[in-house]
Amino acid sequence: MSAAALSEADLRFVNLVASRRFHGVDPAPPGDVAAVLIAAERATAFERAAALARELLQRGVFATAAAETALLAMLCRLAADGYDLVAPQGAVVGMVRGLAEGSVDERTVARWLQDRAVPRAA
């Protein structure tokens, strides 16, 4: 696992924020967050971010604000690895929706992220 890995507590917090902000409710108890983190470990920052979003969406770990949590977790994963995403909000949302619907795969999202991410300023 990479040095800048997100924790279960981090993902639960992201879900809490997404649930309250976008749905106005406290989140339902999550599923197996640890399994998602293990399954999402990949070689590059972009692969890790894409895999994390896909795993969260496919496993249905968060019943409340699932798509929003996947999007925010993907951005947090990139930030933890030293990158910011530079893309219009609508395009980012479209990629996450495509991932959720199965019309876009993890590899496509990883390449898309790599093309649009910039190293964070020191």
Domain ranges of the chain: 8-119
Q: Report which of 44, 45, 67, 48 is spatially closest to residue 56, judged by C-alpha positions.
A: 67
Per-residue pLDDT at 121: 84
Name residues whose C-beta falls within 8 Å of residue 18's C-beta, 6 or more positions apart in sequence: 27, 64, 65, 68, 69, 72
Q: The pTM is what?
A: 0.94
What is the full per-residue pLDDT of the chain (122 aa) written as tens digits? 445 689 999 999 999 999 999 999 999 999 999 999 999 999 999 999 999 999 999 999 999 999 999 999 999 999 999 999 999 999 999 999 999 999 999 999 999 999 999 999 87
Q: Domain 8-119 classified CATH 3.40.50.300? A: no
